Structure 1
């Protein structure tokens, strides 16, 4: 879930927009109101119209910064990790 419990979209920059090593899957909060001029991934990356494809499921290399930003905060969430 995105900020304030909203939906998140999984998007990946299209081939040719960036090099293959930068074509990671970003998490983007879906705006509730009017569509803005660009969307901003949880990591801060600006995504402009036509630059990305919306994915229908988990695939490809994730953006690590987006994953970190999407992790729940608070004590005990990662206490038993690894």
Structure 2
């Protein structure tokens, strides 16, 4: 399962407040969470979003896409 999170205002500038995809841990809560793009998210730095909104992190999107040949053959 993935969570959609965005860094809070004041933690980073507005241009860096993108929506990251973070795998939800199944065990104990770690000291920080790591987005699919590699960004570390620490407690109190981000807000969990309840739906799609804001600018997505392009690197997270690329890493979440299924791999394989022909998946985008009929796109567009």
TM-score when scaled to structure 1?
0.90
Q: Extract unaligned runs of 5+ from structure 2.
A: none
- Classify the secondary structure of the residue corresponding to 1:9: strand
Task: Tell me the distance in 1 between the aligned counterparts of 2:8 and 2:41.
Answer: 11
- 1:8-33 deviation digits (Å, cap 9, x = unpaired): 00000000000000000000000000
Q: Extract unaligned runs of 5+ from structure 1.
A: 1-6
Task: Tell me the distance in 1 between the aligned counterparts of 2:60 and 2:74.
Answer: 22
Task: Tell me the distance in 2 between the aligned counterparts of 1:78 and 1:44.
Answer: 25
Task: Tell me the distance in 1 between the aligned counterparts of 2:43 and 2:75.
Answer: 37
How many residues are aligned here?
76
- RMSD across aligned C-alpha pairs, in angstroms? 0.6
